[in-house]
Amino acid sequence: MKAVIVIKKLLPAVLFVILALLFTGCGSFSQPASPSFELRNAPCDISYDGKEYRASVTNSLGGIMSVSFSEPPSMQGLVYTFSPGGCKISFGDLSFSSEMVRLDSRALPRLLCDIIRNASTEGALSYSPTDTPDESAAVFSGEIYGMRYTITTDKATGIPRMISSAGLGADIVFEPISESSS
């Protein structure tokens, strides 16, 4: 008789633990690191508007960003430098400075700059766990110019691997950054 009373008292506790595990999972979901856009000389391959480019992106938290092109050969040495107040375009010994609003928002360097600045804004990106072929990746999404974009990052570090937008016609793939080059 005592065994029946003990079982009756333990049964609700056991059921509660089972239900808690069913509804919360077993802790296998972990929030990925937020995207980190403090890029220092991050080489990337860019597909934009049916053309291929090779560039290096530098972004400091002080608001200065530059995009330096190395491919195609006709653009080698072309550098766009963006600051909160404007844009400077340099090519060899030539340079031109302008207000940011005067540079077409569909121009590749400005588009890249605007996406990174938008993604760096608190609350601009949303994350929902999705099945990706690479379990070490996290995919965030945002919107700019009324178009959706995604940013694939390293789940542990937040370092961007790829920025993509079908609506904007852009794919930017960053080279992996080794721990020793940071």
Domain assignments of the chain as residue spans, ordered by start: 42-176
Question: What pLDDT was estimated at residue 71?
Answer: 94
User: How high is the pLDDT of residue 181?
Assistant: 45
Which of the four pLDDT bands, split at 50, 70 and 90, describes residue 76? very high
Which residues face 165 on adjacent strands?
Answer: 170
Question: What is the structure's pLDDT at 1?
Answer: 58
DSSP label of 84: T
- Across the chain, mean pLDDT equals 79
**pLDDT score recorded for residue 22:** 46
pLDDT reported for residue 56 = 92
More reliable by pLDDT, 181 or 113: 113
Query: Is 180's pLDDT higher than 90?
Result: no
pLDDT at 5: 61
pLDDT over 80 at 47, yes or no: yes
pLDDT the model gives residue 176: 78
Of the candidates 138, 142, 158, which has an alpha carbon nearest to the alpha carbon of residue 150?
142
pLDDT value of position 162: 92
Domain spanning 42-176: CATH 3.40.630.30:
no
**Between 97 and 22, where is the model more confident?**
97
Residue 143 has pLDDT above 80, yes or no: yes
- Cβ(31)–Cβ(52) below 8 Å: no
- What would the two tokens of residue 113 be? 């700059």
158: its two tokens: 């937040």
Q: Are the CB atoms for 69 and 78 separated by under 8 Å? A: yes
Residues 42 and 56 sit within 8 Å (Cβ to Cβ):
yes
How much is the pLDDT for 179? 47
